[in-house]
Amino acid sequence: MTHWLETLEQLLREGEQVVRIVVSATRGSAPREVGATMLIHRHGTFGTIGGGHLEYTAIDLAQRLLRIDHGASQQERFVLSSALGQCCGGIVNLWWDSFGPEDCAWVRTAAERLSVQKPAYLLSGRGSRALVDTDSRLLAATGEAGAALVAHVNTTAFDSLTVAQSAEGEKVLVQLLDDARTPLWLFGAGHVGKALLYQLRFLPFRVTWVDSRQDYLPARLPPNVRPLWCENPASLVRSAPDDAWFLVLTHDHEQDFRICHALLQRPRLDFAGLIGSRAKATRFAQRLARLGHGRRDFDRITCPIGIPGIRGKEPAMIAAAVTAQLLQQREWLIAHDAPPFSFAQGSQG
């Protein structure tokens, strides 16, 4: 999944005027969560704030801003049932920001900060922008007005997204720019690996795609995928971040085994999945036991992978089952802030 900031940078480099719409607050039932973002430009849109009449109305206002009021920011409150006739019945606050090519350097700084996994706050008011670190130190701004925002808004007092008020009474959107995508290391660029990449390009994962066969990694990949060629993929396990997830589905069972051995030496393993049958899982557990890993150690690796009940073995079917499992696991971790004791086992063989 491409972060909206990366798409915004690309559009501004191409000379586009862009309006960003963000859900700044909700009450009751709403079609999207706070922080949901949509970009509007002359040639199309990116993202969604939930569709329906709310999105239609928001796009209409954004298109007017594109035509007449570059640099503007504004906020509006919508009662979905009475104002828009939507069944949700909740209340949604939306915020509009206008960007032009003159903002490209500022947006690039924000995108670079995001790419190196260093959180920062985006401050946005009418005609002014600022980017500060989590200690409220200025990193970039659009002119003196942008720098002045920092003096009047203490970002450390806010949650991930808040509409604050400056000393002059101006409304300011304060948003934490933090890449919430889950780091996923995918070992294997065969048919199932390729099918998984097709699914994951739309979802909140940052994928490192590893294969020992250099010519199997395509040149053109989705923005959320980083290819990595290595003759001995198991040697890369130690370089993955602490919160990385892993899927092991190479063309070589011996290579799979070495990767599993390396994974079980990691103290933290939020999710690791191995493609294969229950017979393969039993065989690997026996071999790993001879290397000092107990049966309970191998239980840290899910094998077979994929949610139960999907019996097809076509690559697209396996990819759909595994993607659903990844999303279930991700939702569980978000809700509980810890990995579950055990994982649902798939049914590949």
For residue 220, the Cα-to-chain-centroid distance in whole angstroms is 20
Query: Strand, helix or coil at 348?
Result: coil
SS3 of residue 271 by DSSP: coil
User: Per-residue DSSP letters for 108-157?
Assistant: HHHHHHHHTT--EEEEEETTEEEEEETT--EEEESHHHHHHHHHH--GGG
> What does 308-340 look like in DSSP terms, one character per residue?
TT----SHHHHHHHHHHHHHHHHHHHHHHSS--
Give, for all 349 residues of the chain, the pLDDT tens digit. Answer: 678 888 999 999 999 999 999 999 998 888 888 989 999 999 899 999 988 888 999 999 999 888 876 666 788 888 877 555 566 668 899 999 988 888 888 899 888 888 777 888 888 887 778 888 877 788 888 766 666 667 666 666 667 888 887 666 778 888 888 778 899 999 999 999 999 999 998 898 999 999 999 899 988 888 789 999 999 999 999 999 999 999 999 999 999 999 999 999 999 999 999 999 999 999 999 999 999 998 788 899 999 999 988 888 899 999 999 999 999 999 888 887 754 433 334 445 4
pTM: 0.72
Sign of CA dihedral 75, 77, 80, 85: negative
Strand-pairing partners, residue 78, are: 92
CA distance 189 to 279: 23
What confidence score (pLDDT) does residue 161 get?
A: 86
Amino acid code (one letter) for 284: F
Superfamily grouping for domain 182-336: NAD(P)-binding Rossmann-like Domain (3.40.50.720)
The residues with which 182 forms a beta bridge, in sequence order, are 205
3-state secondary structure at position 181: coil
Task: Report residue 284 as tokens.
Answer: 């690997």
User: Can you give the residue ranges of every domain in the chain?
Assistant: 1-180, 182-336
Question: Among 133, 121, 127, which residue's Cα sits nearest to residue 102?
Answer: 127
Q: How far apart are CA 238 and CA 249, in angstroms?
A: 18
